[in-house]
Amino acid sequence: MSETKDNAVHIVERLSLSYGVSSQRALASCLDVPSNNVSAWVQRKSVPGNAIIKCALDTGADLKWLVTGEFAFSKIKSPKITNEVSSSSGHVLLQKMLSSGGRAVLNRIIEAYGFKTQKELGEHLNISSGTISTWVRREYFPGDVVITCALDTGASLEWLATGEMTTTSHQEPTVHEIPTINKKILLAGKLDDDGFCYIDESFVPDGVNLENLSFVRSGKSSWLIEMGVSDLSNGTWLLDIDGTLDVYTVSKRPGNKLRIIGQDGEFECSTNEVRAKGLVVLFLKNAI
């Protein structure tokens, strides 16, 4: 195994703690093995991987803690025992594990490591090809190797052991990706790229295409602007007037006239005297 096992006595203690039992006989009952097996493990100074896997899936105990006494995340100070267990437990779980040996479990181990052949797996774990062939031929369940694979790769222990995976305890959490939009700076009548920024979609009005949205800042003011919108209407717009860009409030007048209000005043002009570069959908102003 890639992780060095702790003393068998300590492993048995952690198994007992996980199940909440205080005697070897009670632990043997939980693990569905003969009552004298646990004492034999202690004497041989070796706990079979099958027992550790079953305990981890039965109780939700941290696998690395069961094996080594350490946690996968060093900040954890005590064992995490939860009520969430695998889709099966007890005798049923044990039977699923043992009936999933041989070729089936070998294929899952190879897949978890990202290997393509048994030879690659054998070289990685320093196991002879003859031993691996014996697993297949005898439908053997290599518990220690399953544990090693789970700790090495982070693959689901339940999937490696049984080929199944509970959606409640092992499904990857849904991560909502925060969208990004272009960030630009408006300076001296020119619009320059300024990287990108994250945007909370709740700030974006319905119907606005995020792909066309830019965060534009100038001095103490900033705007969310839907770029490429050119059909002028009443509202706030990024306009190109005589080659100079700025943000203006626009209101339409009869006769294709526009009333345009900017920081330096207001004026009227014809619609063909300005070019719309984008529609402001949100205005932000620094209070300081």
Q: What is the pLDDT of residues 161-177, one digit of tens each?
A: 888 775 444 444 444 56
pLDDT exceeds 90 at position 92: no
Secondary structure element (H or E) that encloses residue 214, with its range? strand 213-218
- According to the model, what pLDDT value does residue 257 have? 92
CA-CA distance, 97 to 159, in Å (whole number)? 10
The H or E element containing residue 244 is strand 244-253
In residues, how long is the chain? 288
**DSSP state letter for 174:** P
CB 201 within 8 A of CB 232: no
The pLDDT tens digits for 242-279 are 999 999 999 999 988 999 998 888 899 998 999 999 99
Cβ-Cβ contacts under 8 Å for 50 (sequence gap 6 or more) = 94, 97, 98, 141, 143
Q: How far is CA 260 from the centre of its chain?
A: 49
Q: How many CA atoms lie within 13 A of 246 on its CB side?
A: 16
Shortest CA distance to 189 belongs to which of 271, 259, 264, 267?
Answer: 264
The pLDDT of 32-60, averaged and rounded, is 88
Average model confidence (pLDDT) across the chain: 81
| Cβ-contact 274, 260 below 8 angstroms | yes
Which residues on neighbouring strands pair with residue 44, listed in sequence order?
none
Task: Record the tokens describing residue 79, joined without a space.
Answer: 């064992």
Per-residue pLDDT tens over the stretch 104-141: 888 989 999 998 888 889 899 999 988 888 888 888 88
Closest CA to 55 of 25, 109, 93: 93
Residue with tokens 């004026």: 267
Residue appearing with tokens 């345009």: 260
